[in-house]
Amino acid sequence: MSNLIGIVDIETTGFIKDGGLIVEIGIVSLDIVTGEIQPIFSSIVQEKGFSEKHLNHPYGWIFKNSDLRFEEVKNAPYLEDLLPEIQRICDGFDNGLTAFNKAFDFTYLKDRGLSFKELNCIMLRATPIVNLPPNPGFTDPKWPSVEEAWAFFFPDRAYTEKHRALDDALHEAEIAYEILRVSK
């Protein structure tokens, strides 16, 4: 049996409920025994309906908070053309896939017709370990951001999230492996 799991990260123009669109997908494999991480898929993508309106509120956050540019998405391959390849990649992970804030990423991917075996959310697995103070009005620990989880697990390695799918997936895989390591 394989020791590999998939870690997925997507970038979007906003929330799915607001009509946000996927603009980038990154997938890496993580060997849960050795910690080896390999890039598997990375592409900027365009979805039908992508237009200049995605530069403004409630869209456009990604273009203000990363180095991804509108023109790159406008010239990217259509996501629907890449879905068969992405599905084949997902099917290759017999042990399943996960993401940091899995609910966000997987809601989009499932909505676009992808199916896969789901593993526990990296962010939710990190929450009791990182154990941040609760948000006002709550009693449970705050869900950590990728940067907060990274700072906890790798205090000697500075990291600023790039909000680029492959780079984020690579770092999230390192966090996932540390969670597995400390949970043994």
Amino acid at residue number 40: I
Identify the CA nearest to 117 among candidates 92, 100, 81.
92
Q: What share of the chain is helix, strand, coil (3-state, %, to 5)?
A: 40, 20, 40
**Model confidence at 164: pLDDT above 70:** yes
- Average pLDDT of the chain to the nearest whole number: 96
- The residues, ordered by sequence, that sit 6+ positions from 115 with a Cβ below 8 Å of its Cβ are 87, 90
Identify the CA nearest to 93 among candidates 69, 113, 119.
119
The model scores a pTM over 0.85? yes
Beginning with the edge strand found earlier in the chain, give each strand of the sheet holding 4-12 in spatial order. Answer: 37-44, 22-31, 4-12, 97-98
Q: What is the CATH number of the domain that holds 127?
A: 3.30.420.10
Domain span at residue 48 reads 4-182
Cβ-in-10-Å burial (0-12, 13-18, 19+) of 161 comes to middle
> What letter does residue 77 receive in the DSSP assignment?
P
What's the pLDDT tens digit per position in 20-75? 999 999 999 999 999 999 999 999 999 999 999 999 888 999 999 999 999 999 99
Between CA 29 and CA 39 the distance in angstroms is 6
Count: domains in the chain: 1
Least-confidence region, from 1-5, 121-125, 144-148, 177-181: 1-5
Q: Residue 1: its pLDDT value, please?
A: 61
